[in-house]
Copies of this chain bind each other. A is one copy, B any other.
């Protein structure tokens, strides 16, 4: 028997979700060896599989290096040790050997049992407090916080690949949409929006100014009005373009209804910004009946929350924009994304129509 070896166990959908493949790959990539001691693959697709492997390194540090990686893939050792923590020496500073999170579901072995880490986000640390664990960004770390260090006692669950049903994520797979039938994708997106709403889920629009410029603002406003959008995350530009279009009919001076340039239209962009400053805010502009249509109008009317995050190239920016990005970041986060390559000026009106958000 090899001197530098450890026995690991893994269970779950080992074959489906490539767990076993990744473990084999990692061991070999790191120039280690493995022996399969036991493997049982679920007879039926609903059954879980189980594997027990001996991992062999060249020396102690090599073995530890391999184990570090395998822990990330969900492998556990027979004699599970509790995860270790260390106190933050001052505000906004991690201990040196801090565990850096992924965006997958994570558990830690704490006081001899597995507990879930809440508020999972990528590239953060895990703070343990009593019997709970929580994902925390560096700027929110306080002196004395107990922060997880090393890699032991941590288990990361790879997301299982969905089989049943057929929402747009499953339909598209991981590939790009550039080789798919556009009208069908629009239909799928519309169906997913409706199904998500039906199940009590929420739809959040993260949009840019091209929505207005390519003539899709009416479709989006309508989807907000009909209750198909529950929150809007955007930047200054979407709001400014929307107000320009709503008040002057142009987007950067171009008449949206026919694509021609308005006389003196170059100033419409700044005129829109000025009109919001004059009113005091988007909400006040609606209350003063100066803004009577469009995306931001419908948000205010329907009390749909919107967050406008500032960026370096903003004109203005509007009084409603959160100019401190450290503050704006608290409202943001993506767990998974799917790319659809289309023309937003054609695609969104198609989605709106299929969703039944007609005028």
Q: Chain A: how many interface residues by the 8 Å CB criterion?
A: 100
Provided the pairs A15-B21, A15-B24, A25-B16 are in contact, do residues A259 and B44 lie with their beta carbons within 8 angstroms?
no
Query: Across the two chains, which residue of chain B brings its CB closest to A327?
Result: B323
Q: Mark A183-207, 1 if CB is under 8 A from B, else 0.
A: 1111010000000000000000000
Q: Which of B181, B266, B277, B342 contacts A138 (CB 8 A)?
A: B277
Q: How far is the CA of A28 from the CA of B164 in the complex (A)?
A: 9
Q: Mark A260-304, 1 if CB is under 8 A from B, else 0.
A: 100110110111011001100000000000000000000000000
Q: Mark A330-359, 1 if CB is under 8 A from B, else 0.
A: 001000000001111111011000000000
Tell yes or no: A1 within 8 A of B by CB.
no
Tell yes or no: A111 within 8 A of B by CB.
no
Q: Which of B36, B68, B180, B350 contacts A263 (CB 8 A)?
A: B68
**B266 and A100 form a contact (CB under 8 A):** yes
Stretch from A73-81, A126-134, A220-228, A305-313 at the B interface: A305-313
How many identical subunits does the complex contain?
Answer: 4
Q: Which of B27, B39, B181, B325 contacts A310 (CB 8 A)?
A: B325
By a CB distance below 8 angstroms, the chain B residues around A254 are 179-181
By a CB distance below 8 angstroms, the chain B residues around A39 are 39-41
Tell yes or no: A246 within 8 A of B by CB.
no
**A20 and B28 form a contact (CB under 8 A):** no
**A263 and B123 form a contact (CB under 8 A):** no
Interface, chain A (partner B; CB < 8 A): 15-16, 18, 20-21, 24-25, 27-30, 33-36, 39-45, 65, 68-69, 92-94, 96, 98-100, 102, 123-125, 138-139, 151, 163, 171, 179-186, 188, 213-216, 235, 252, 254, 256-260, 263-264, 266-267, 269-271, 273-274, 277-278, 309-317, 319, 323-329, 332, 341-347, 349-350
A-B interface, 10 closest residue pairs, ranked by CB to CB distance from nearest: A182-B345, A181-B215, A100-B267, A346-B346, A342-B343, A310-B325, A343-B343, A323-B326, A36-B41, A100-B270
